[in-house]
C-alpha cells in the first residue's frame, strides 16, 4: 500500500485554525470528483509541513494509499511533467506499463483509483493545469495542493482555498524553544523575542536559526539576535520574495559551517538534480563517500538540507536559491560547472554499469568522461541495477536536459544510450522519445557517427513502441543510409531489422519480409547467431500474418534452436509463443497448447508480464478455435486484465474482442483434436 508522504513534524505549532479548517473540509459531503484543497502562502511559511502533518494524522481516512509528488515549481530546470508523476503513481499501484500520452495516463489513473480512498500531497505546484491532470476524480479522494500562488483555475474543479500566513509570536517562541530548550528562552527572553521578530514569523527561518543555536549551547541567544540584525540591514536590498528573514537566518547558519560543509553546500546548489545521495555529494565536492555522508548529515542537522527517505536529501526551495547564490559568489564559474559535470559523469558511469549488467548483448559505445568517476556504484545483481534506474529516472532526466542546455553533446547522447535498459524494461515512452530526440541532435552536432547510428536505431524502436511506425521507418532509413555509407554490416543489419518491424506494423508484409531476409543474410555472414535467431522470429511473425503456416513453423523452430544454443531463454519463449500461434492457425491444437503453456512458464520466470498476457490471449484464441467459448472468454478476460495493469495498447483491442464473443458457451472439441 503506497505510503509516500515525507517525514512530518511530531508537533505542529500555531496551526490550530488551519487544521480545524482542513477537518471541516474532510467532514463535508463528498464531492463527485473528490476534494481538492489548495494551501497557498509565501515561501518558508510551512505549507508542506502543514499538509503532510494533517494527511498523516488522518491516515485512517485513506486506507488505499497516501501519495506524494514534488511538482518542483521553483526547483532547478523545468517543473515536474504531470505524465512522469502519473507514471510514478501508477507504478506504485502495481501497474508496470504507463501510457506516454498525458491524457491516456490521466484516464488510467482515474480508472485505477475510481473506488479507492486515497490521499495525495501535490507539493509546490506551478499551475492549475499541472495539478488538474493528477486529480484522481474519485469522490473518496482528497488532494492537498501547496503553492506560492492561489491557483484560482482549480476553482473550476471545485477546489477549496486556504491561505497560509505567518505563525503568531507565541507559537514562534514555542517553536524556537523546541529547538534550543525552554531554559535558554527563559534565561534570555528579550533576545528570544528579537530572534523571533527578525525571523518574521516564518517557520523555516525559525527552524534554521534554532538548529544553529542548538549546535552552540554556550553561545548567548543575544549573539544570534545581533547577527540577524546585521544581516537584515546588509541584505535589505536583496529581498527574497519580499522576505529578508530567511536569507538572514541562512547567512547566519552558513557563516559558521566548517570549510568542507560550506563547499558542499555551495556546490549542491549548482546541481540540476532535486535530490542528493552520498554518491552524488561525493562526486560534486570530490569527497570520499564516507565524508560525503557525514557532511550531508551535518547540513541536515542545521536545517540546511531536508533528509528524505532511503538516505536521500533535498533543499527547501529558498535554501537552494541561497546555496546557489553563495556558490556563484564564492566559487568560479569553472569550478561550479566542473562540479555539475562530475555529478553527470557519476550518473553516466552508474547507468553504464547497469546497462552492462542488464543488457550485456547491447554493444557498448564510447563513454567520454571529463574525469573518470572515483566511486562508481557497484550493483549486487540485475534487479538492483534496474531498481536504481527506476529510482533515479527523474535525476537522469534532469542531468540529460542540463547537458543539452549547455551543449555537452557527447554526454547527452551517451547518457541516452546508457539509459537503454530503463527504456527497454520499464518503457517510460515520453522520456524515451525526448531523450532520443536530444541524443540524435547531440550526436550529429558532435560529429559522432557511431552515436548518431545508435540514436537512430534505438530511437526508431521508441517511435514504434509509441505507435508511430511511419516515423520509426523514417529514422531507420536514415540509420540504413549511414550504415551502408560506412560499410558496417552489423549496423546495416540492425537498421534493416528495425525497418522490417516498422513495415510490418504498417501492414507492408512483402517489404518487411525483404528487409528481414537481407538482414538475416548479413548476420549469417558475420556469424552473429543470436541476431540470426531474432530475425527468424521476425520472419516467423510475418509468415503467421500472411497465413503461411509451414514457413512460420520452419523459421520459428530454427529460431528456437539458434537461441537455445546461445542461452537466451527469454527469446526462446518468444519464439515458442509465436510457434504456438502458428500451430493454432494450422489446426494442430495439441501442439499449440504444449508450446504456448511452455512459453507462458518461460515468461513468468523471466519476469515478462506483457508477453505473459499475450500468450494467455493466444491460449484464448486456441480455445475459441476448439469451440470452447467459455474457456476463450476466461483467457481473454485474464489477458485483458493483465493488459490493463500494463497500460498496454492491446487493452482496447481485447475489450472489443470480448464484446464480440457470443453469450452462450459452446461444447468444447476433444482435447488435442
**How wide is the angle at C-alpha 670 spanned by C-alphas 665 and 672, nearest 5°?**
120
75 neighbors 126 (Cβ within 8 angstroms): no
Lowest mean per-residue pLDDT among 231-235, 310-314, 383-387, 648-652 = 231-235
pLDDT at residue 647 is higher than 70: no
Residue 81 confidence (pLDDT) above 60: yes
Residue 60 and residue 52: Cα distance in Å, rounded? Answer: 14
Q: Say what the pLDDT of residue 37 is.
A: 92
Among 155, 98, 79, 89, smallest CA distance to 116 is for 89
The answer as to whether 88 is a domain residue is: yes
Q: Are residues 319 and 344 both part of a single domain? A: no
- Residues 316-340 have a mean pLDDT of 91
User: pLDDT class for 352, splitting at 50, 70, 90?
Assistant: very high
Residues 159, 248, single domain; the answer is: no
Does any domain span residue 663?
Answer: yes
What is the predicted pLDDT for the residue at 241? 41
Give the pLDDT of residue 237.
Answer: 30
- Look-up: residue for cell 559558521? 256
The label of the residue with cell 501497474 reads 95
For the residues 646-656, what does the mean pLDDT come to? 79
> Residue 402, Cα to own-chain centre: how many angstroms?
17
User: What is the structure's pLDDT at 208?
Assistant: 82
Instruction: Please state, as a whole number, how many other Cβ atoms lie within 10 Å of the Cβ of residue 673.
Output: 11
pLDDT value for 371: 85
Residues 637 and 624 sit within 8 Å (Cβ to Cβ): no
CA atoms within 13 A of residue 164's CA, in its CB half-sphere: 30
**Beta partners for residue 145, in sequence order:** 38, 122
Average pLDDT over residues 236-246: 43
User: What average pLDDT score do residues 433-460 get?
Assistant: 97
Same domain, yes or no: 70 and 147: yes
Q: How many CA atoms, within 13 angstroms, populate the side-chain half-sphere of residue 28?
A: 16
In angstroms, the CA 397 to CA 389 distance is 11
In angstroms, the CA 655 to CA 637 distance is 8
Supply the CATH number for residue 268's domain.
1.10.10.10
Q: Which of 102-111, 567-576, 652-661 has the highest mean pLDDT?
A: 567-576
- How confident is residue 367, by pLDDT bands cut at 50, 70 and 90? very high
Task: Domain of residue 67: give its range.
Answer: 16-163
Domain stops at, among 421, 450, 467: 467
**Better pLDDT: 623 or 669:** 623
> DSSP label at 69?
E
* 283 falls within a domain: yes
| Whether residue 213 sits in one domain with residue 118 | no
Clarify whether residues 127 and 250 are in a common domain: no
Q: What span, in angstroms and rounded, lies between the C-alpha atoms of 225 and 227?
A: 6
Q: Return the number of other C-beta atoms located less than 10 Å from residue 622's C-beta.
A: 21
Question: How many helical (H) and strand (E) elements, i.e. helices and strands, does the chain have?
Answer: 32, 8
Q: Is residue 303 part of a domain?
A: yes
Residue 628 lies in a domain: yes
Which pLDDT score, from 0 to 100, does residue 666 have?
46
Output the average pLDDT for the chain: 88
Say if 153 falls within a structural domain.
yes
- Please state, in angstroms and rounded to a whole number, the distance separating the CA atoms of residues 515 and 506: 14
Can you tell me the distance from the alpha carbon of 598 to that of 592, in angstroms, rounded to the nearest whole number? 10
The percent of residues above 90 in pLDDT, for the chain, comes to: 56
Q: Is the overall model pTM greater than 0.95, yes or no?
A: no
- Give me the long-range contacts of 626-634 (CB less than 8 A, separation at least 24): 626/589, 626/668, 626/669, 626/673, 627/666, 627/667, 627/668, 627/669, 628/665, 628/666, 628/668, 628/669, 629/661, 629/662, 629/664, 629/665, 629/666, 630/665, 630/666, 631/668, 632/661, 633/658, 633/661, 633/665
Last residue of a domain, one of 218, 236, 254: 254
318 pLDDT more than 80: no
Considering just the CA atoms, what is the radius of gyration of the chain in Å? 29
> In angstroms, rounded to a whole number, what is the distance separating the alpha carbons of residues 248 and 229?
8
Q: Could you tell me if 238 and 271 lie in one domain? A: no
Residue 528 included in any domain: no
Q: Are 319 and 325 a contacting pair, CB within 8 Å?
A: no
Separation in Å, CA 449 to CA 91, 410, 476, 489, 567: 36, 12, 14, 15, 32
Q: Residue 252 contacts by C-beta under 8 Å, 6 or more apart in sequence?
A: 208, 209, 212, 224, 227, 228, 231
Q: Is the pLDDT of residue 431 over 50?
A: yes
Q: Where are the beta strands (DSSP E) in 148-209?
A: 160-163
| Helix, coil or strand: residue 412 | helix
What CA–CA distance (Å, rounded) separates 317 from 332?
A: 23
Q: What is the pLDDT of residue 96?
A: 67
Whole-number pLDDT of residue 97:
67
Percent of the chain with pLDDT over 70: 95
Give the per-residue pLDDT at 623. Answer: 94
Nearest to 55 by CA among 86, 23, 82, 90: 23
pLDDT category of residue 322 using cuts at 50, 70 and 90: confident
Instruction: Pick the last residue of a domain from 219, 254, 289.
Output: 254
Query: Does the structure show a pLDDT above 90 at 43?
Result: no
In the chain, the number of structural domains is: 5
pLDDT on residue 236:
35
Residue 168 phi, psi (nearest 5): -75, 175
Amino acid at each position: 500500500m503506497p505510503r509516500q508522504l515525507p517525514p512530518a513534524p511530531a508537533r505542529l505549532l500555531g496551526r490550530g485554525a488551519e487544521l480545524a479548517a482542513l477537518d471541516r473540509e474532510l467532514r463535508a459531503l463528498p464531492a463527485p470528483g473528490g476534494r481538492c484543497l489548495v494551501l497557498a502562502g509565501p515561501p518558508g511559511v510551512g505549507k508542506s509541513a502543514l499538509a503532510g502533518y494533517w494527511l498523516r494524522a488522518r491516515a485512517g481516512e485513506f486506507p488505499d494509499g497516501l501519495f506524494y509528488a514534488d511538482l518542483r515549481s521553483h526547483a532547478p530546470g523545468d517543473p515536474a511533467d504531470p505524465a512522469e508523476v502519473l507514471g510514478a503513481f501508477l507504478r506504485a499501484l502495481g501497474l508496470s506499463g504507463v501510457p506516454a500520452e498525458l491524457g491516456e495516463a490521466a484516464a488510467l489513473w482515474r480508472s485505477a483509483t475510481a473506488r479507492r480512498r486515497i490521499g495525495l500531497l501535490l507539493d509546490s505546484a506551478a499551475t492549475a493545469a499541472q495539478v488538474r491532470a493528477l486529480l484522481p476524480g474519485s469522490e473518496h479522494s482528497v488532494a492537498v495542493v501547496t503553492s506560492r500562488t492561489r491557483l484560482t483555475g482549480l476553482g473550476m474543479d471545485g477546489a477549496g482555498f486556504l491561505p497560509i500566513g505567518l505563525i503568531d509570536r507565541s507559537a514562534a517562541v514555542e517553536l524556537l524553544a523546541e529547538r534550543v530548550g525552554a531554559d535558554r528562552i527563559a534565561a534570555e527572553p528579550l533576545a528570544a523575542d528579537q530572534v523571533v521578530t527578525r525571523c518574521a514569523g516564518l517557520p523555516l527561518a525559525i527552524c534554521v536559526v534554532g538548529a544553529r543555536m542548538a549546535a552552540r549551547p554556550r553561545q548567548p541567544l543575544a549573539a544570534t539576535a545581533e547577527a540577524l540584525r546585521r544581516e537584515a540591514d546588509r541584505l535589505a536590498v536583496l529581498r527574497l520574495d519580499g522576505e529578508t528573514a530567511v536569507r538572514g537566518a541562512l547567512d547566519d547558519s552558513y557563516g559558521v559551517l566548517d570549510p568542507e560543509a560550506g563547499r558542499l553546500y555551495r556546490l549542491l546548489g549548482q546541481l540540476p538534480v532535486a535530490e542528493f545521495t552520498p554518491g552524488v555529494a561525493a562526486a560534486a565536492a570530490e569527497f570520499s563517500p564516507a565524508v560525503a555522508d557525514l557532511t550531508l548529515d551535518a547540513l541536515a542537522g542545521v536545517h540546511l538540507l531536508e533528509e528524505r527517505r532511503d538516505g536521500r536529501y533535498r533543499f527547501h526551495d529558498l535554501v537552494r536559491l541561497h546555496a546557489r547564490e553563495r556558490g556563484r559568489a564564492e566559487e568560479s564559474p569553472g569550478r561550479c560547472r566542473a562540479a555539475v559535470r562530475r555529478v553527470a559523469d557519476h550518473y553516466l558511469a552508474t547507468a553504464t554499469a547497469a546497462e552492462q549488467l542488464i543488457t550485456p548483448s547491447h554493444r557498448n559505445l564510447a563513454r567520454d568522461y571529463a574525469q573518470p568517476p572515483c566511486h562508481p556504484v557497484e550493483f549486487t545483481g540485475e534487479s538492483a541495477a534496474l531498481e536504481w534506474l527506476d529510482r533515479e529516472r527523474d535525476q537522469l532526466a534532469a542531468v540529460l536536459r542540463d547537458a543539452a542546455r549547455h551543449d555537452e553533446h557527447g554526454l547527452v547522447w551517451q547518457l541516452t544510450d546508457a539509459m537503454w535498459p530503463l527504456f527497454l524494461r520499464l518503457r517510460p515512452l515520453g522520456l524515451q522519445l525526448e531523450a532520443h530526440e536530444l541524443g540524435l541532435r547531440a550526436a550529429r552536432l558532435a560529429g559522432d557517427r557511431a552515436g548518431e547510428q545508435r540514436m537512430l536505431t534505438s530511437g526508431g524502436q521508441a517511435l514504434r513502441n509509441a505507435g508511430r511506425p511511419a516515423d520509426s521507418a523514417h529514422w531507420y532509413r536514415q540509420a540504413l543510409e549511414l550504415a551502408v555509407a560506412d560499410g558496417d554490416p552489423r549496423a546495416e543489419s540492425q537498421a534493416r531489422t528495425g525497418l522490417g518491424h516498422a513495415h510490418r506494423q504498417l501492414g507492408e508484409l512483402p517489404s518487411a519480409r525483404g528487409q528481414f531476409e537481407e538482414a538475416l543474410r548479413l548476420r549469417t555472414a558475420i556469424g552473429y547467431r543470436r541476431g540470426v535467431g531474432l530475425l527468424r522470429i521476425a520472419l516467423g511473425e510475418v509468415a503467421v500474418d500472411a497465413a503461411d503456416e509451414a514457413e512460420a513453423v520452419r523459421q520459428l523452430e530454427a529460431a528456437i534452436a539458434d537461441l537455445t544454443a546461445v542461452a537466451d531463454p527469454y527469446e526462446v519463449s518468444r519464439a515458442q509463443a509465436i510457434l504456438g500461434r502458428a500451430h493454432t492457425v494450422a489446426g494442430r491444437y495439441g501442439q499449440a497448447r504444449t508450446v504456448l503453456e511452455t512459453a507462458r512458464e518461460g515468461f513468468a520466470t523471466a519476469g515478462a508480464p506483457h508477453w505473459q498476457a499475450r500468450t494467455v490471449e493466444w491460449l484464448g484464441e486456441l480455445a475459441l478455435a476448439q469451440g470452447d467459448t467459455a474457456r476463450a472468454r476466461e483467457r481473454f478476460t485474464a489477458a485483458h486484465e493483465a493488459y490493463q495493469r500494463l497500460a498496454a495498447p492491446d487493452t482496447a483491442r481485447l475489450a472489443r474482442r470480448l464484446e464480440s464473443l457470443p453469450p452462450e458457451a459452446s461444447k468444447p472439441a476433444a482435447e488435442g483434436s
